[in-house]
């Protein structure tokens, strides 16, 4: 199973490269580093960087994975994969992981470029991967409900707005735990913990555990949506 999943992920990575997804991820990463380093005061970065991570990788994954799903439909590659030994969970996981691998690599580059290279870069890998798996799975669930990408874009607006609710507590507009039940809250505060000079291990473990549980639930939902589609 692991061997098939790795090969399928490599296949989707090749498709993303051919379709320009890789250029989008890393082009945006380099642009983000440049803008923050040149125009954002260092004292603001502890607030800005977590918000950027949730905004770019917590929501962009929804659109990137959904776009890849529509591309696969148009190219009939999803039908070709359907007759391979790959099971539905392996196909869905490979598609989500391919986007997640790119997002994690780009996110680590952004973190290192803005905050510097230190052990926090490695700590970021797991929460960022869980966040991208979560957002990618949500993208596939939404994509299964719309036959056209343009309709998906309109339907995704409420979901992306929902993702942004934890910003209200992050910027002290509502009490901290108002949106603590949302997975995006765990993602945002996990990033905020790692941006601090002395990240708390207990906070890291708690929030990453939450993210992994939410990601697993979302991935299961994405597999179910493909089976029922």
Q: Tell me: the pLDDT tens digits for 83-119? A: 456 677 888 888 899 889 999 999 999 999 999 999 9
What percent of the chain has pLDDT above 90? Answer: 53
159, 62 contact by CB (below 8 A): yes
**Mean pLDDT of all residues in the chain?**
87
Cα-Cα-Cα-Cα dihedral of 207, 209, 211, 216, to 10°?
A: -170
- 202's CB contacts (< 8 A; 6+ apart) are none
- The phi, psi pair for 118, rounded to 5°, reads -160, 180
Give the pLDDT mean for 127-135.
Answer: 95
Distance CA(72)–CA(99), nearest Å, equals: 14
- Compute the distance between CA of residue 113 and CA of residue 204 in angstroms, rounded to an integer: 22
Phi, psi dihedral angles at 86 (to 5 degrees): -65, 135
Q: What is the pLDDT of residue 85?
A: 62
Query: With contact defined as beta carbons under 8 Å apart, do 184 and 207 qualify?
Result: no
Q: Where are the beta strands (DSSP E) in 26-145?
A: none
Quick one: pLDDT at residue 79?
46
Q: Residue 186 above 90 pLDDT?
A: yes
Residue 166: pLDDT over 80 = yes
Is the pLDDT score of 165 beyond 80? yes
- 22, pLDDT greater than 90: no
Per-residue pLDDT tens over the stretch 34-74? 999 999 998 899 889 999 999 888 888 898 888 888 877 77
pLDDT tops 80 at residue 78: no
């Amino acid at each position: 199973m692991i061997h098939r999943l790795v090969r399928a992920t490599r296949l989707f990575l090749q498709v993303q490269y051919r379709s320009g997804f890789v250029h989008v991820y890393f082009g945006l990463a380099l642009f983000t580093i440049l803008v923050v380093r040149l125009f954002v005061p260092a004292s603001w970065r502890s607030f800005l960087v977590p918000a950027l991570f949730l905004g770019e990788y917590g929501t962009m994954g929804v659109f990137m994975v959904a776009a890849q799903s529509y591309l696969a439909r148009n190219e009939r590659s999803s039908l070709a994969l359907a007759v391979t030994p790959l099971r539905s969970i392996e196909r869905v996981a490979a598609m989500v992981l391919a986007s997640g691998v790119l997002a994690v690599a780009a996110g680590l580059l952004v973190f290192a470029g803005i905050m510097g290279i230190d052990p926090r870069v490695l700590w970021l890998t797991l929460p960022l991967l869980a966040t991208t798996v979560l957002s990618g799975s949500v993208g596939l669930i939404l994509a299964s409900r719309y036959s056209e990408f343009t309709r998906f874009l309109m339907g995704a607006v409420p979901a992306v707005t929902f993702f942004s609710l934890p910003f209200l507590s992050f910027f002290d507009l509502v009490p901290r735990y108002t949106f603590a039940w949302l997975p995006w809250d765990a993602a945002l505060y996990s990033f905020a913990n790692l941006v601090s000079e002395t990240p708390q291990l207990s906070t890291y473990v708690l929030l990453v555990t939450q993210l992994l549980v939410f990601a697993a639930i979302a991935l299961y939902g994405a597999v179910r949506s493909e089976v029922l589609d």
